[in-house]
């Protein structure tokens, strides 16, 4: 599928941000469970 360059980079950035947020949430939940 062909995606214009600017949109491609925006999607990539969103993906990275979402991944970081989800990772942070899972770390917090894990710490909560361990305690």
At residue 2, the pLDDT reads 82
Residue 31, token pair as written in the block:
């710490």
At residue 23, the pLDDT reads 98
| Domain count of the fold of the chain | 1
At residue 17, the pLDDT reads 98
Q: Ramachandran region of residue 2, left (φ > 0), alpha (ψ -120 to 50) or beta?
A: beta
Residues spanned by the domain of 4 = 1-35
8: how many CB neighbours lie within 10 A of its CB?
Answer: 11
At residue 3, the pLDDT reads 79
pLDDT tens-place values along the chain, 35 residues long: 787 899 999 999 999 999 999 999 999 999 999 98
Between CA 23 and CA 25 the distance in angstroms is: 5
**DSSP letter (8 states) at residue 2:** -
């Amino acid at each position: 599928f062909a995606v214009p360059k600017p949109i491609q980079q925006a999607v990539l950035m969103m993906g990275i941000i979402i991944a970081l947020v989800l990772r942070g949430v899972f770390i917090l939940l894990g710490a909560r469970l361990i305690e």
